[in-house]
Structure 1
Amino acid sequence: MDEWLKKAAQEGSIKSLYALLREDPSIFEHNIDDKLFADTPLHVAASTGDLRFAAEVMRLKPSYARAFNRDGLSPIHVALLNGHDGIVDWFVTVDSTLVRQRRGDDDMTCLHYAIAQGNENLLRLFLLDCPSSIQDSTAKQETVLHVALKHNHLRIFEALVGYLQKIQYEDILNRPDENGDTVLHMAARNNQTEAVKLLLSKKLLSNNYYMFVSF
């Protein structure tokens, strides 16, 4: 990325951004599009949490929302991993399909990361705005349920089981990961007894379910 463009993004200076565009109207193209897997100004704004600058860049160059940097991260991933939930929310409002953006090295979507972080607010937002994201698996064929158990987020696991039952996607409960393990195998091996009981009974834990997922 051009150093002046990078500086404008780091400072969140829209004035500087337009000054650069006046000097070189094609600055976005020849600084980014010819360099695969480079940080864009939108990546920088997502990392600093500057929603105003991010919105302006997105308006000028919408394709940046789907660009990946050398870490395999798109801007929404960067915002999520840096704890800028407001920008993540804004990205999803602009384009809900960004929830299904996959990280380059592990195919983790934003939904998977929200579950791994135990971020119930973003998880609820993602399921409301992009319900189809519940079907996605990682590069290791881990479902959303595998990810929840892997990070020991039982409350989220319970809510997801209930949600899957509600939308009649219960087949996901039996999907194996790359090692052939279903979530029942995983829960039994890790002594996550509450998860095992839930899976065997297939009954909703109503308190957690309705507290968390209200669709």
Structure 2
Amino acid sequence: MEEALMAASREGNVDALYDLIQQAPVNAARREALNAARRDLNAASREGNVDALYKLIEKEPEILDSVNKVQVVHTPLHEAAKAGQTKFAIELTALMPSFAKKLNPQGLSPLHLAVMSEAHELAEERAGKNKTAMALIKLDAELVRVKGREMMTPLHYAVRENNLELLAEFLCACPKSISDLTNEHQSAVHIAVQERKFDAFKVLLGWLSRRNKEEVLRFKDSDGNTALHIAVATEQFEVVRELSSKVKINSLNSEGLTAWDIANAKRSVISGNIKKFLKNRGGRPADSLPRKELLHEFLKLKQGPFEKPIGYLIYVDKEMSLEMRSFILVVAVLIVTATFQAALQPPGAFWQGDGDTSQKVSTFNRSNNSAKFGLHNFRKQQHNMTRVVGQVVMSPRNFRAFMGGNTVAFVSATVLILLVLPARSYIYSLHLSLLFLTYTYLTAVDIIAGRTLLTMSFIIVAWLFIGGVLTLRFYMHIAKSIFNDALWLPWLYVLATNIFYHIPPNPVGNSLSHFGNRLMMHRKVSSLETEVID
């Protein structure tokens, strides 16, 4: 037995592995517990006879426990699921929940068997098995993610069987299952395209679009192929048409080939049409694409002048946990609120009038009245001065000191909020709101101080600082989405990529690609095992 197992391991023969599991000798305890009642139990499972189940349990109380102790075993729940006996399956799952995740000697769970079709299966039988499958996932949605033979989940089998009803139910019951991969790193989308299950592919595509999870379409298998590569290789023009607007059209597989290269290697009429279609969408041969720097090459080079600050920003962004983001946002919002209110109500308030902002207020009479408060010497210099209604009362020197510090605090807190907010499409509306808030703050400063050189300097410096930070952050995420297959703004990622590849190769494009690739390397090197909101 050991020699046969070693031989199967050397050959990578999965079928031989499961054959050996079925032939493995059973221990005496299991034989003693199961031999007397196993045949009757399996019969009761196929028939869905709940009464017979409990009679067997009464006769052999340890029968279910003895089955449960075996790691790989064909349980009664397998039989019930295979036969579409829904009530019996629910009853048995309630008695022994662990049965639902057990693999039989063929490497299949009960839910796998409920999904799989048999030869000459009747419509009534198929409907019963579907009902059983849906009943099982209502009890435990995570059953959709149980990995069986070749690490295939029931979701993968639903795609392979083109069972659209179960496929839709599985996706809605357990959305995380869409990210599960087989032992060849194939997603459900890979399997749908490879098996030519176009209806299942359309269901997957519709669900991914509605859930904004189209990054799954860009997953690569163990050979580096995306679903687009497979669609081109299998000459499925409709699938290529659907994927071309949703994935990176010039992604390279492990052989260094693009989808256009694969189509070009074939000589059929369909491949010729696919090649023309890809070319119109920006498809290129691999040798015409800018060369990407490999990770080991990147690590050997010295850091450029802009790499340290960019790397620091990436590191801080990745290191920041959700709790830390919340704490920073609370403090920054308090600072923005306080400084904005201070700009609207500065110390000493404003010169008052009847509401006409063009009206001049004389300070001559006020200086005599203020003499009794010991301010005669200060006001004496203002006898012949006039002030505009709505401007600050404080002297220019005091205003510079107060408003300078207040503006620095406001701008710093605003920039911190811009950096801490997650870079999502819907979050950028908050970025826009902060820009308008900054505009109103600086406009208020301009009004209450008058348009002086100092005021204009405040405004220009503040806008340059905020605009520079926001531009850098936005550009970093754009570059990341184009060159690093980022899970961010999928529509913008596809649009920018397609536009980029429509442009003929040029030095500017090559430089942009080089920078984006180095940005990707920075993110990879600085990746941390912390909670990240990107």
In the superposition, the TM-score normalised over structure 1's length comes to 0.86
1:10 aligns with 2:41: no
2:205 corresponds in structure 1 to 161
Q: CA deviation at 1:112?
A: 0.9
1:85 corresponds in structure 2 to 130
Q: CA deviation at 1:169?
A: 2.3
CA distance in 2, matches of 1:201, 1:97: 32
Unaligned runs of 5+ in 2: 1-33, 118-125, 248-534
1:67 and 1:193, CA in 2 relative to 1: closer, same or farther beyond 3 A? same
Contact 2:168 2:203 in 1 (8 A): no
Q: CA deviation at 1:114?
A: 0.9
2:107 corresponds in structure 1 to 72
| Pairing of 1:158-197 with structure 2 (within 5 A) | 158-197=202-241
Q: CA deviation at 1:129?
A: 1.0
1:36 and 1:16, CA in 2 relative to 1: closer, same or farther beyond 3 A? same
1:24 aligns with 2:81: no
1:60 and 1:191, CA in 2 relative to 1: closer, same or farther beyond 3 A? same
1:102 aligns with 2:147: yes
CA distance in 2, matches of 1:61, 1:155: 36
CA distance in 1, matches of 2:53, 2:84: 17
Contact 2:100 2:110 in 1 (8 A): yes
Q: Deviations over 1:7-53 (max 9, x none)?
A: 332333222222222222222112x1333311111111111111122
Contact 2:159 2:200 in 1 (8 A): yes
CA distance in 2, matches of 1:189, 1:96: 35
CA distance in 2, matches of 1:52, 1:157: 32
2:31 corresponds in structure 1 to none
1:161 and 1:20, CA in 2 relative to 1: closer, same or farther beyond 3 A? closer
Which one is further off, 15-24 or 43-52? 15-24
The alignment partner of 1:106 has SS state of helix
2:352 corresponds in structure 1 to none
Q: CA deviation at 1:88?
A: 0.5
Q: CA deviation at 1:185?
A: 1.0
Contact 2:44 2:53 in 1 (8 A): yes
Aligned residue pairs, count: 201
In structure 1, give the amino acid aligned to 2:75: T
Q: CA deviation at 1:165?
A: 3.3
1:207 corresponds in structure 2 to none
CA distance in 2, matches of 1:138, 1:53: 31
1:199 corresponds in structure 2 to 243
Aligned counterpart in structure 2 of residue 118 of structure 1, from 143, 150, 162 = 162
1:11 and 1:194, CA in 2 relative to 1: closer, same or farther beyond 3 A? closer
Aligned counterpart in structure 1 of residue 80 of structure 2, from 28, 45, 58 = 45
Q: CA deviation at 1:99?
A: 0.9
The structure showing larger relative contact order (alpha-carbon pairs under 8 Å, at least 6 residues apart) is: 1
In the superposition, the TM-score normalised over structure 2's length comes to 0.36
In structure 1, give the amino acid aligned to 2:65: E
CA distance in 2, matches of 1:190, 1:77: 27
User: What fraction of aligned residue pairs are identical, expressed as a percent?
Assistant: 35
In structure 2, give the amino acid aligned to 1:155: D
1:138 corresponds in structure 2 to 182
CA distance in 1, matches of 2:155, 2:58: 39
The alignment partner of 2:151 has SS state of coil
Contact 2:68 2:98 in 1 (8 A): no
CA distance in 1, matches of 2:58, 2:143: 31
Q: CA deviation at 1:192?
A: 1.0
Q: CA deviation at 1:202?
A: 3.0
CA distance in 2, matches of 1:106, 1:23: 38
In structure 1, give the amino acid aligned to 2:86: L
1:177 and 1:56, CA in 2 relative to 1: closer, same or farther beyond 3 A? same
Unaligned runs of 5+ in 1: 204-215
1:136 and 1:15, CA in 2 relative to 1: closer, same or farther beyond 3 A? same
1:162 and 1:10, CA in 2 relative to 1: closer, same or farther beyond 3 A? closer
CA distance in 1, matches of 2:214, 2:79: 39
Which one is further off, 67-76 or 153-162? 153-162
Root-mean-square deviation (CA, aligned residues, Å) is 1.8
1:56 corresponds in structure 2 to 91
Q: Deviations over 1:116-161 (max 9, x none)?
A: 1111111111111111111111111111111111121223323423
Which one is further off, 183-192 or 7-16? 7-16
Contact 2:48 2:85 in 1 (8 A): yes
CA distance in 2, matches of 1:47, 1:88: 10
